[in-house]
Amino acid sequence: MAYLERIVEAKQVAVWNEFSTEPEPPFTAILVADTVVVLDEQILGKPTDIAHAFLLLQKLAGRTHRVMTRFVLRDRNPLGPKIGHTVTTEVTLANPGETCLRRYAATGEGLDKAGAYAAQGIGAFLVERLVGSYTNVVGLPVSHVVEALVSAGWLKDFP
């Protein structure tokens, strides 16, 4: 998804520009990522308030959507490796009804989450089915990041 690639690339450039001018940058590699929720080819962002969270949850209830996380790893050496990968997970949410969705939205748990729910929190009760990486839905596909770190040589002797 071009939007996600642009956002993550912009983050990566911003972090790189912040630290790359130092004689000895305080990192070996940079990891940046962003996650979006996509329903019917429409990106559902983070809710602006509890009412908006409820509307997002209503859209997702009883339906399958995609959670997409793009991450980029970059070596501090400008000539070193730069790895970008997008991980997609399909998530089907239950439809517990309007009252339940309103109560969940009112907890505020999903206010800082794309799609207005947290699969790792109270919102776990909404997740009916998940196909793909659970940690991707939480926000960072850990196994994919570790695989990229190993393949780039940044993580050696990993189990």
- Tokens at residue 35, please? 């996650």
Long-range contacts: 47-52, Cβ < 8 Å, 24+? 47/105, 47/110, 47/111, 47/116, 49/111, 50/105, 50/106, 50/108, 50/111, 51/105, 52/116
The answer to whether 71 and 85 have CB atoms below 8 angstroms apart is yes
pLDDT along the chain (159 residues), means of 10: 94 84 74 96 96 98 98 84 94 98 98 97 98 96 94 80
Give the pLDDT of residue 25: 67
Give the pLDDT of residue 96: 98
> What residues act catalytically?
34
Give the three-class secondary structure for 63.
Answer: coil
Kindly report the backbone phi and psi dihedral angles of residue 143, in degrees, each rounded to the nearest multiple of 5, phi listed first: -65, -35
Measured from the Cβ of residue 65, the count of other Cβ atoms closer than 10 Å reads: 19
- Tokens at residue 9, please? 């690339």
Q: Report the C-alpha gap between 93 and 85 in whole angstroms.
A: 25
Give the pLDDT of residue 126: 98
Residue indicated by tokens 């912040």: 18
